[in-house]
Chains A and B, each alone.
Chain A
């Protein structure tokens, strides 16, 4: 590679408007050969639009795209793929009931038309998956793969198209730490083989670890670009948010916790024949006090979400006891849990919490209809609006009005709507599962402050997070889990990322006072 060679991909002056909003305004992006390039920005900064233009899914209003020094138009996804630009989306596009090989070669099956050569397809797939370290029979159904393995199938598919640029949109958000390390290894190997990677992520530590250069967007404009070695995480955050965020996350003064609000003893949920891939939990015992935030840390598959869902009655459990305020309770359904003052903010707000096409108003009130009732069966809409307004102020939800469809809000504001729904119930215990997944840095801090506020008001909070810095800044006390077991417990003051990681991965049952 000589210094004179043009960059592999150069986008300049990219502008794209949608009705009422300029998503991109004169954006440029330059990606070299054999480079891992981080594309960064808060939600709504314009990353997705830029990615869609690169994938050929949208055309820019203005601007120039040079690929290999030659101007190109990416009129449609096929044109982009022909050039070797392949996008791996956050939500995979695999067909779960087809084999690895079929997914890799979907639409491009080898063989003499109209027949498919299964032997060749399998052999070529195996070559590709070996290359990235996926040791699986090419005829395995994708349904039976882990999320990380499915991602590798996506990568294999990209490689099968002779890609020169692979765009990865939030590739690590659903991976455990070990899987992330493995992905980074693959990404580095691809780079050595001459492929450039555009890496979109919210996790800035990952940028520092694996990326060569970065481009930061804010409000549809370039606000910074350069070499990763010349910048710190705080520096990137400053660029992304355009303001100082003191450390990544806020800390809080640990308060004196009250009496035990919720205790579970020996909670166990085993696999069933209907659901052979379910994550098991075995003999999980934990408690949380009023005014306390209990963090649950663990890798993907450790059973954190399953524990939360079992406590909440969302999934049945086989054995174990649940006590609320010291009294044993029977919880078989979410209704039972709610009746006992337990709330759950589930990990996937779009699928499990929100009614996306419905108004913010009805989304907030759905669980608290008896609080705004009239004569038992009717809804008092004045009270309902009052409720929404109360929580809009309290949680600082930025919205056009209570009748706006909740699907139009940003991720952070959507999450606040879900929190409002539970706060409206005045819960004793609130379990929040990945409370800041997929929301931008500024909103994360706001959500954390809300959790602190809840604890201060006497709610017992259980916070589950895959991000250790988040657990460390939010929780007063931290329980770690691994493979369905509780493996340790620590006060925040004693905990470090390293110690927690050890308990999450090694399964030592160390108990710090």
Chain B
């Protein structure tokens, strides 16, 4: 029948386009690395590459969480602030209080890295839960809730820190940010393991499937019997979890937590996710794409630093890239519509 033929032909051309759309970030990443390798020999050194990956791992963790949020057509602008607040709490727990801010606590003074990590994650989850609740129950758009959250958590962090950083942790703590297993930095391992787990959740579980459904068409999802409210709330909790985990790893890497940590992360993180092919309209995207997107941004920033490009210009470039990525997504969406 004619309509079958038409469907088959269309899906063929879509597949080609879909293929390009899917692998565009990876191709772009390879090209970018090749360019930097030619322009700046230091770029390809293994020290530098591991360094890039270590930097990427923090925003990458946040980007994994953000992928869940954006898949439901939501957004979370509060990640940087929440990360700062959770990091300070973790630091205070690790040091056993706020008195001894700058020296390495000797055995028995603090509560250990385990409780510190737990505290960071708990703060993150709590922050995500409150925001998720505001979005689903109070019916305030995610943009507004998390814009508010951005201010609230930053304020909480500043209040908590009372103006100064908390630094100097035990080796057990800093190992999570500075240590290595073989040649591979620990944060990179955390990032990739989390990425793998998130990939499994999104790709192979019922919950993951429901996230795509809610993002693709919330009304259809509701009428198919999905608990849309709970699913939307849950992605902000997941985002909060990753903000908490990220804050712990960041504090460990810098051996310090401060209230201004993570400023501007929301842009980097959202850019990573969108460049990785996740649609801001919801329902389309992969963790694989997000990981590539995160690395892409990391490589770009690192390459620019090596080439002595001013950090102001880097900001401009990130801004332009995020707009271009969304423009591409909009184009891809209209393309999907047409066929």
| Residues of A in contact with B (beta carbons under 8 Å apart) | 19-21, 43-44, 219-220, 312, 314, 333-335, 337-339, 344, 346, 351-358, 362, 365-367, 369-370, 373, 377-379, 381, 398-401, 404-405, 407-410, 413, 421
A334 touches B222 (CB 8 A): yes
Which residue of the partner chain B has the closest CB to A43? Answer: B3
B212 touches A354 (CB 8 A): no
A residues near B6, Cβ cutoff 8 Å: 20-21, 44
A355 touches B11 (CB 8 A): no
Which residue of the partner chain B has the closest CB to A20? Answer: B9
**Assuming the A-B contacts A362-B209, A366-B226, are A398 and B216 also in contact, with contact meaning beta carbons closer than 8 angstroms in the complex?**
no
**Assuming the A-B contacts A44-B2, A352-B220, A398-B4, are A379 and B209 also in contact, with contact meaning beta carbons closer than 8 angstroms in the complex?**
yes
B2 touches A335 (CB 8 A): no
B residues near A352, Cβ cutoff 8 Å: 219-220, 223
**Assuming the A-B contacts A314-B223, A338-B225, are A408 and B204 also in contact, with contact meaning beta carbons closer than 8 angstroms in the complex?**
no
Which residue of the partner chain B has the closest CB to A421? Answer: B224
User: What's the nearest-Cβ distance from chain A to residue B267, in Å?
Assistant: 27
**Assuming the A-B contacts A367-B224, A410-B3, are A405 and B206 also in contact, with contact meaning beta carbons closer than 8 angstroms in the complex?**
no
**Restricting to B1-32, which residues have a CB under 8 Å from any CB of A?**
1-14
B residues near A362, Cβ cutoff 8 Å: 209, 212-213
B206's partner among A43, A378, A404 (CB-CB below 8 A) is A378
| Residues of B in contact with A (beta carbons under 8 Å apart) | 1-14, 204-207, 209-210, 212-213, 216-217, 219-227, 283-284, 333, 336-337, 339
B residues near A353, Cβ cutoff 8 Å: 220, 223-224
A residues near B207, Cβ cutoff 8 Å: 377
User: What's the nearest-Cβ distance from chain B to residue A58, in Å?
Assistant: 12
Q: A200 to B336, alpha carbons, bound, how many Å? A: 26
A408 touches B14 (CB 8 A): yes
A410 touches B204 (CB 8 A): no
Sample of 19 A–B contacts (CB below 8 Å): A20-B13, A43-B3, A219-B2, A334-B223, A339-B225, A352-B219, A354-B220, A355-B212, A355-B216, A355-B221, A356-B217, A357-B283, A358-B216, A362-B213, A370-B206, A404-B7, A407-B336, A408-B14, A409-B7
User: What's the nearest-Cβ distance from chain B to residue A330, in Å?
Assistant: 15
Q: Tell me how many residue pairs across A and B have CB atoms closer than 8 Å.
A: 127
Overall SS of chain B's interface = helix
A369 touches B204 (CB 8 A): no
B227 touches A335 (CB 8 A): yes
A residues near B209, Cβ cutoff 8 Å: 362, 365-366, 369, 379
Residue of A219, A338, A352, A355 with most partner-chain B CB within 10 A: A355
Residue of B3, B5, B221 with most partner-chain A CB within 10 A: B3
Q: A488 to B87, alpha carbons, bound, how many Å? A: 68
B residues near A21, Cβ cutoff 8 Å: 2, 5-6, 9-10
Which residue of the partner chain B has the closest CB to A309? Answer: B223
Q: A369 to B226, alpha carbons, bound, how many Å? A: 10
B10 touches A20 (CB 8 A): yes
Q: A219 to B8, alpha carbons, bound, how many Å? A: 16
Q: A379 to B14, alpha carbons, bound, how many Å? A: 26
B14 touches A314 (CB 8 A): no
Q: A405 to B1, alpha carbons, bound, how many Å? A: 19
B206 touches A400 (CB 8 A): no
User: What's the nearest-Cβ distance from chain B to residue A339, in Å?
Assistant: 8
Which residue of the partner chain A has the closest CB to B203? Answer: A379
Q: A45 to B88, alpha carbons, bound, how many Å? A: 65
Q: A507 to B210, alpha carbons, bound, how many Å? A: 44
The 4 A-B residue pairs whose C-beta atoms are closest, nearest first, are A20-B9, A355-B216, A338-B225, A367-B224
User: What's the nearest-Cβ distance from chain B to residue A337, in Å?
Assistant: 8
Q: A398 to B9, alpha carbons, bound, how many Å? A: 14
B206 touches A373 (CB 8 A): yes
User: What's the nearest-Cβ distance from chain A to residue B296, in Å?
Assistant: 24
A405 touches B14 (CB 8 A): yes
B13 touches A314 (CB 8 A): no
Which residue of the partner chain B has the closest CB to A336? Answer: B225
Which residue of the partner chain A has the closest CB to B279? Answer: A357
User: What's the nearest-Cβ distance from chain A to residue B79, in Å?
Assistant: 26
B residues near A219, Cβ cutoff 8 Å: 2
User: What's the nearest-Cβ distance from chain A to residue B165, in Å?
Assistant: 41
A residues near B10, Cβ cutoff 8 Å: 19-21, 408
B221 touches A366 (CB 8 A): yes
Q: A379 to B1, alpha carbons, bound, how many Å? A: 34
Q: A121 to B205, alpha carbons, bound, how many Å? A: 58
Q: A353 to B212, alpha carbons, bound, how many Å? A: 14
Which residue of the partner chain B has the closest CB to A443? Answer: B3
B212 touches A400 (CB 8 A): no
Which residue of the partner chain A has the closest CB to B225? Answer: A338
A357 touches B223 (CB 8 A): no
A408's partner among B7, B210, B220, B221 (CB-CB below 8 A) is B7
Which residue of the partner chain A has the closest CB to B10? Answer: A408
User: What's the nearest-Cβ distance from chain B to residue A464, in Å?
Assistant: 15
B212 touches A358 (CB 8 A): yes
User: What's the nearest-Cβ distance from chain B to residue A476, in Å?
Assistant: 26
